[in-house]
Amino acid sequence: MKPWDQRLAAIVVRPLANSFVTPNMMTGIGLVLGLGAALLFSLGEWSWAGSLFVLAVFWDHTDGELARLTGQTSRFGHYFDHTVAFLNYACAFFGMGIGLAAHGSEVMGIAGGIAGVSVAGIFAVRNYGEWKIGRSFMDQPSAFGFEIEDFMYLIGPIAWLGWIKALVIAAVVGAPLYLFWTVAALARGKRA
């Protein structure tokens, strides 16, 4: 079953199928959205940052759907998409750490940095696993139309509620554990 956000992205990009808009343009817009969210996180603008981040997470699916719809898939586009997702996710946590440190919580600033580095490591290991084992290594566990990565959508509501500190605490524990699990999966030659 195709994930719900990918289904919605396919509907959103359908009007663009016969336009000048390319999948790589969509990826570039996603990068701007994600880095904008990271900047807002670093400024402590939690609600705006959370909203922009949710949009960036959703937007990450539009490029691939447009590429499949128009027959414009490419190896470059595939890795450009992965690179933008990695930058957006890692920079969001770096931004949260900077924002928390600026508001008097230096320890949380370090925690945000650790979470960001761990997220970068996860993407690096997963991309290496895809190259070494095959595309199946990138497949995510899913159920009922949701993938494990969809928990990133929760960052929006968490930010709206002002619970960034709690999120960073969870991420400084969870992201390194997931990195370890991904490295172990690569060592076993199994899907991450």
| pLDDT given at position 111 | 97
pLDDT at position 191 is 61
Q: What's the pLDDT at 164?
A: 96
Look up the pTM and report it.
Answer: 0.91
pLDDT at 192: 55
If we measure between CA atoms, which residue out of 179, 176, 41 comes closest to residue 115?
176
In the predicted model, residues of the chain with pLDDT beneath 50 are none
Domains and CATH numbers, the chain: 4-188 (1.20.120.1760)
- Confidence at residue 171, expressed as pLDDT on a 0 to 100 scale: 96
